[in-house]
Structure 1
Amino acid sequence: MADQRVLITGSAGVVGTLMRPRLRREGRVLRLLDLAPQPAAEPGEAVEVRTGSVTDAEAMASACEGVDAVIHLGGHSRENSWEATLDVNIDGTHTVLEAARAAGVSRVILASSNHSVGFRRTDEGGATGLPADSPPRPDTYYGVSKAAIEALGSLYHSRFGMDVIVIRIGSCFETPLPLGPRGLTTWLSPDDGARLFEACLAAPSPGYRLIWGVSDNTRRIYSLTEAEALGYKSLDNAETYAEQLADRPAPTGIAAEYVGGPFCTAPLGEFNPL
C-alpha cells in the first residue's frame, strides 16, 4: 500500500516544529512547506522539505500534488496590519484550499484560534465549556482572519465535498508557562496536539467540523465534546504547571472576562507578542 502523504504548511512555525517529530510514523510521508529555513531530513526520516509561500498559487499547486491530506498552519500567528493579515491569512488560505481542491485532496485541517471568538465571555459555556461551533466574535484583525478561514473551510466542504476540520487552537507550546496563568486555561500540549491531528486525519467522513484544540485542563473553559467525537482523547493537563505560575498575577478585567484575554485590548493592526 502506498504511503500516506500529509502536507503541513507553516511547518517551520511553533506548532509545525512541535508536530514534525510527533506526526512521523511508518507508512506516512510529511511534506513540509514554509518560507523559513527548515532542518533537512534526518537519515530514515520520511519528510519532504519544500520552500514556498501559501500565497504563491504555483508553489501550492506543486505542494498539493499527490497529497492525501493538508494540515494548514501557515500564516501570521499574531496581530499584524490589515494588509498583511488579508494577504497571508485570508488570501493565503484561499490559495491553499483552491490548490487542494484542484489536486483532489479530500481532507484539509485548518488551524483557527480562540481569537475568532475572542469577545465571547469566558463563562458563556457553563459547566461543559464554550461550544466549538460558537459563532465568531473576533477580538483583532487576526481573529477576523481566523473567522474567515472557518467560513472558507465551510464553503469548500459545501461546494466541493471536501472533508474540512477547523481547529480553534488555544495555545500550543512545550509548556503553558510562556502565557502565564492564562496558559492554564488555553494550553494544548504538543503531545495532545499530535493526538488531535491524528484523530482529524483518521476520522471517517467528518464533513465540516469545528472543534477546540486544547488539553483537558482543570481550568478549561472550552468544550471537548466535538473533538472527542472525532476520536480525540487528551492525556495532559496544564494544572501540572500551576505551582510554577503561582507568583504570576492572574488576568483581571477584560483580560479575565473574555476568551481573547489581552488581545481584546491590544492595538488593532500592530504586531504584538502576546
Structure 2
Amino acid sequence: MPQAVIGCDLSRAFIDLFHLPGGTVDQIPNTPSAIAALLGTLERDALVVFEATSGCDGDLIRVLAEHSHPYTRVNPRQAREFARATGVLAKTDRVDARVLARMGAVLDLPVTIPLSPARTRLSDFLRRRRQLVEMRKAEKLHRHSAGQPEIEAAIEAMINLLSDQITELDQRIAGLIEEDPTLARQANLLTDVPGIGPTVLATLLGELPELGTLCRRKIASLAGLAPHARESGTWRGARRIWGGRRKVREALYIAALSASRRIPVLTAMRDRMRLKGKAPKTILIAIARQLLVIINAMIRNQTPVRIA
C-alpha cells in the first residue's frame, strides 16, 4: 500500500488539504487545535507536504514537531515548476494542495528536520532583527530628502530608536545562544573561524539546523551555493547558483569577504581563481561554499578543523 501523503495549502485563516491515495479534499482552520485534531486522524507515517510560507506555517510546524509527525517544507518555486511540468496551470488553494500531495507521492522529498524550541526562538528574533535593519535602511534614505529640519530631526530620532532596538536584539540573540547547550557548543566551535561574526553565527545556527547532518554537496545546495550546469548538446553555458536559503547565502557571502583574506587555504583558493581570470563575484561564491563545507565538517565532527 502506498504511503499516505497530505498536501497542505496554507493561508492565515485556513489550510486546504488533499489526501492521497484516497484523493479526498478537506479544509480546516489554521489553528493549533484544528491541526492537532487532524493529526489524530492520520497514520503515523503519513507525510505532510506544504510550502515554506513565512507567517502562515508557524502553528502547523509547531504541532507537527510536538507530535513527532513527518513533514516536508518545499520551496514554492519548486512546487510551481512541478505543477507546470505536470500540466497544471491553474492556481487555487485546492489545486495547490493537490499539487503538493502529488509532489510528495512522486518525488523523494526529504523529511524536514524540525527546529528545536531554542532554534525557533532564535529564528524569530533573527527575523525581527532583519525587519528593523530594513526599516533603519529606509529611514536613512528618507533622511536625504527630508526637506525640512524638523522632519530630518524626526527621522534621525527614528534611526536612533531603531539602532537601540537592534542593539538590544543582538544582546538577546547572544543570550539565547548561550542559554542552549547545543547552540552554545556549536557557537564555541565557530566563533574562532575568521569571518564568522555574531550576526553570521546567529544566522547559521538559527536558519541552517542541518549543519553537520548533510554531506558537503547537499549542504551547499541547501544554502543555494551549489552551481548548476547549463548544457545542451555541444553548448556549454556558465554554471549558475539559484534557490536555497537566501539569508544563509547572504551571510556566508559577507563572511567570505573576510575569510578570503584571513584563512590561508581560502586565500590560496582566491589567488588561483584570480589567475584563471574568474570574476570577483564568482570567486566569493566559491569561497563562501568552501567556508560552508569547513563549517559543516566542524559541526559534524564536533571538533575544530584545520583551515591553514
Normalised to the residue count of structure 2, the TM-score between the two structures is 0.23
Higher helix proportion: 2
- Between 1 and 2, higher relative CO (CA 8 Å, sep ≥ 6) is seen in 1
Larger Rg: 2
